[in-house]
């Protein structure tokens, strides 16, 4: 069995940390070639000392120099430290890299993830924004290069596992009638709608089932995370939005389901531990130990399901609208959401203003044909500017 080289984009975030936990359990299968981080230098230093990657990438030049100095002082002569956004793309296409874990949060992950797809790598896709933004362009790059695309989001990984044998992402499955995309409902599923106006960032990031970063936790609270997953599911499984049904499932035990034309519904179940989908994708088409605890069915006792309330979760409706329009509208939606969530986390706007910012950008930013990545990035830029201007008016 040959050892595969892996590049972890966003190694200090929750997905990156879980990925390296799985890697550490299988040193005979994986070797870490590159690790990248934004500004968590302390954790990246520890990871470099443990896994001795050939390269470590830090966006900020000063932070990179600090890491370089600390590694030298610690006697690490293996790891070369690089800096800048371009270096993310460079390490994603290294000949020694077989698999790329795309775990950078937000639009920043688009270009390195796309570079990995164009280079024909096995792309372990945890960055949903990259696919939401570039849509058909990303899927075309996968098809043209022969890259293998394996979803890491627990829901999309569950759908992938429930698809027909030998299924590959990006293809239609004619025998599938519906995709049932489950959602926990987040921390505010039962909170009075009128009380959402006053929720704090700390309340919004307190997810009842999952331990995640602050941005994705807020997205879960607004259900924009599910909206982005809806768009991603349409692309990954070549399925129109009317055949993707969001189902609230508070226990987060069933991670998604596939409804077949013969009436069969297949569900993937497991504890809410991201190491499960990570290990599935890393071992695919085989399986190996993830480190997750076995599911105790007797402790669950019940599984609840309900339809989403679009009045409570207007961001989910925005996502359905965006994927229906297509072109650069998903990129506009994503950019507006990133700016709005950032402002909310910094105390700039109220929680209930997030969908308002998104709606404003979707109505005011011109939709363009998404012929190439520059057009996608231009839509992203315009939407960010429109969101910032709208937030400034709210604050004045």
Distances from the Cα of 199 to the Cα of 33, 124, 353, angstroms: 42, 34, 11
Pairwise pLDDT comparison (71 vs 108), residue with the higher score: 71
Sign of the Cα pseudo-torsion (387, 390, 395, 396, in order): positive
Residue 209 has pLDDT above 70, yes or no: no
CATH classification of 4-151 is 3.40.50.720, yes or no?
yes
- Tens of pLDDT, residues 261-301: 999 999 999 998 999 999 999 999 999 999 999 999 999 88
Q: Are the C-beta atoms of residues 86 and 2 closer than 8 Å to each other?
A: no
Pairwise pLDDT comparison (201 vs 260), residue with the higher score: 260
pLDDT, the chain, mean: 93
Tokens 């799985």 identify what position? 22
Distances from the Cα of 216 to the Cα of 34, 276, 347, 394, angstroms: 24, 19, 17, 24
Across the chain, the runs of DSSP E, i.e. the strands, are 4-9, 30-37, 55-58, 80-83, 99-102, 122-125, 148-151, 176-183, 244-248, 254-260, 265-269
- Tens of pLDDT, residues 306-364: 999 999 999 999 999 999 999 999 999 999 999 999 999 999 999 999 999 999 999 99
Tell me the mean pLDDT in the region 21-29.
96
Tell me the mean pLDDT in the region 15-22.
96
Tell me the mean pLDDT in the region 72-97.
96
Tell me the mean pLDDT in the region 244-273.
96
Q: Are the C-beta atoms of residues 138 and 234 closer than 8 Å to each other?
A: no
The predicted pLDDT at position 1 comes to: 63
Tell me the mean pLDDT in the region 5-32.
96
CB-count exposure of residue 313 (10 Å: 0-12, 13-18, 19+): buried
- Tens of pLDDT, residues 132-146: 888 889 999 999 999
Cis peptide before 285 (omega within 30 of 0): yes
**Cα gap 252→210, rounded to integer Å:** 9
- Tens of pLDDT, residues 362-396: 999 999 988 889 999 999 999 999 999 999 999 88
Tell me the mean pLDDT in the region 243-270.
96
CB-count exposure of residue 188 (10 Å: 0-12, 13-18, 19+): buried
**Cα gap 116→99, rounded to integer Å:** 9
Tokens 């203003």 identify what position? 353
The predicted pLDDT at position 228 comes to: 93
> What percent of the chain has a predicted confidence (pLDDT) above 90?
83
């Amino acid at each position: 069995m040959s050892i595969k080289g892996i590049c972890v984009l966003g190694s200090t975030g929750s997905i990156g940390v879980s990925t390296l936990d799985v890697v550490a359990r299988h040193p005979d299968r994986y070797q870490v070639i590159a690790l990248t981080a934004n500004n968590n230098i302390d954790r990246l230093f520890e990871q470099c000392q443990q896994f001795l990657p050939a390269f470590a990438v830090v966006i900020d030049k000063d932070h990179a120099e600090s890491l370089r100095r600390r590694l030298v002082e610690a006697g690490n002569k293996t790891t070369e430290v690089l800096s800048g956004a371009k270096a993310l793309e460079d390490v994603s296409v290294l000949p020694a890299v077989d698999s790329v874990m795309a775990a950078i949060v937000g639009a920043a992950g688009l270009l390195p993830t796309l570079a990995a797809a164009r280079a024909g790598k096995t792309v372990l896709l945890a960055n949903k924004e990259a696919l939401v933004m570039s849509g058909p362009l990303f899927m075309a790059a996968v098809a043209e290069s022969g890259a293998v695309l394996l979803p890491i989001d627990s829901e999309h990984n569950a759908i992938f596992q429930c698809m027909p044998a030998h299924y590959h992402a990006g293809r239609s499955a004619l025998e599938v009638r519906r995709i049932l995309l489950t959602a926990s409902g987040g921390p505010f599923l039962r909170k009075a709608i009128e009380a959402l106006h006053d929720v704090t960032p700390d309340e919004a990031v307190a997810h009842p089932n999952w331990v995640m970063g602050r941005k994705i936790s807020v997205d879960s609270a607004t259900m924009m995370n599910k909206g982005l997953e809806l768009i991603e599911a349409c692309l990954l499984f070549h399925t129109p939005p009317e055949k993707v049904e969001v189902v609230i499932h508070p226990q987060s035990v069933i991670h998604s389901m596939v409804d077949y034309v013969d009436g069969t519904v297949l569900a993937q179940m497991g504890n809410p531990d991201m190491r499960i989908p990570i290990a599935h994708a890393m071992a695919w088409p085989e399986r190996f130990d993830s480190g997750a605890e076995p599911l105790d069915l007797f402790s669950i006792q019940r599984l609840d399901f309900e339809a989403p309330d679009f009045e409570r979760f207007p961001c989910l409706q925005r996502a359905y609208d965006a994927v229906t329009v297509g072109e650069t509208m998903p990129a506009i939606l994503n950019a507006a959401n990133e700016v709005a969530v950032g402002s909310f986390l910094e105390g700039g706007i109220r929680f209930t203003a997030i969908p308002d910012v998104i709606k404003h950008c979707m109505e005011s930013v011109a939709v363009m044909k998404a012929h190439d990545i520059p057009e996608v990035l231009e839509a992203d830029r315009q939407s960010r500017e429109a969101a910032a201007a709208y937030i400034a008016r709210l604050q004045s």
